[in-house]
Amino acid sequence: MRIPFIPVLAALLAACNAPVHTPEPTPATPASLPTVQEETLEARQERGRYLVEIMGCNDCHSPKLMGSNGPYPDPERLLSGHPAGQVLPAVPKAVLKDWALFAMGNTAAVGPWGISYAANITSDATGIGAWSEEQFARAMREGKWKGLEGSRPLLPPMPWPNFARMPDADISAIYAYLMSTAPVENVVPAPVPPNEL
């Protein structure tokens, strides 16, 4: 028995062009997400730890040790910033005009702005231990040194503009985690302006 080609083709084309009705996903509403006040402190700290790890905070804020696979964060000095006593090599003058370079441990950077050092963000008083959550939020969102109004801007390579639109819950979680870290006493050197190099 022979099936007529044209009617079958017409039926297939009609089926392919028929609209497909799929249910639309229901987006999460802010009311369905836990607020800062609803989360336990432990849950906020765990969320903050996760955010600190995926945002690469250890990349710049933790001194490094050298292993067989390259540098890795020193577990005894996590998030303690550029080591106070670490001396950097002389900066080639060409760097100040055309380059941005990192020191071997990644806790110091040099470029047209001069030399900047990664801050101590542990719970120690030489870190952010005395900061309020409001100060921390201002540093992250507005790029203000120590989160103080009217203070100097945070220097490169701190990517605070990437964090400026973070939700309050994430800022609060990161702050809660950092305040729970082991305090590491380390007074990070002051930045060096380019005219002093």
CB of 93 closer than 8 Å to CB of 170:
no
User: Model's pTM, two decimal places?
Assistant: 0.78
Distance of CA 170 to CAs 108, 149, 160, 180, Å?
A: 26, 21, 14, 15
Domain boundaries, the chain: 45-82+118-185
* pLDDT (tens digit per residue) in 18-37: 444 444 444 444 444 455 55
pLDDT number for residue 94 = 72
Question: Given a cut of 50, is residue 86 above it in pLDDT?
Answer: yes
pLDDT at site 131: 98
pLDDT at position 37: 59
pLDDT of residue 25: 42
Where does the pLDDT of residue 91 fall: very low under 50, low under 70, confident under 90, or very high at 90 and above?
A: confident
Q: pLDDT tens digits for 133-183? A: 999 999 999 999 999 999 999 999 999 999 999 999 999 999 999 999 999
pLDDT tens sequence across 112-131: 999 999 999 999 999 999 99
**Model confidence at 8, in pLDDT bands (50, 70, 90)?**
very low
- The pLDDT value recorded for residue 109 is 96
Give tens-digit pLDDT for 44-71: 999 999 999 999 999 999 999 999 999 9
Taking CB atoms within 8 Å and a gap of at least 24, the contacts of 125-130 are 125/183, 125/185, 126/185, 126/186, 126/187, 126/188, 127/79, 127/80, 127/81, 127/183, 127/184, 127/186, 128/178, 128/179, 129/179, 129/183
Residue-level pLDDT at 98: 82
CA distance 161 to 55: 13
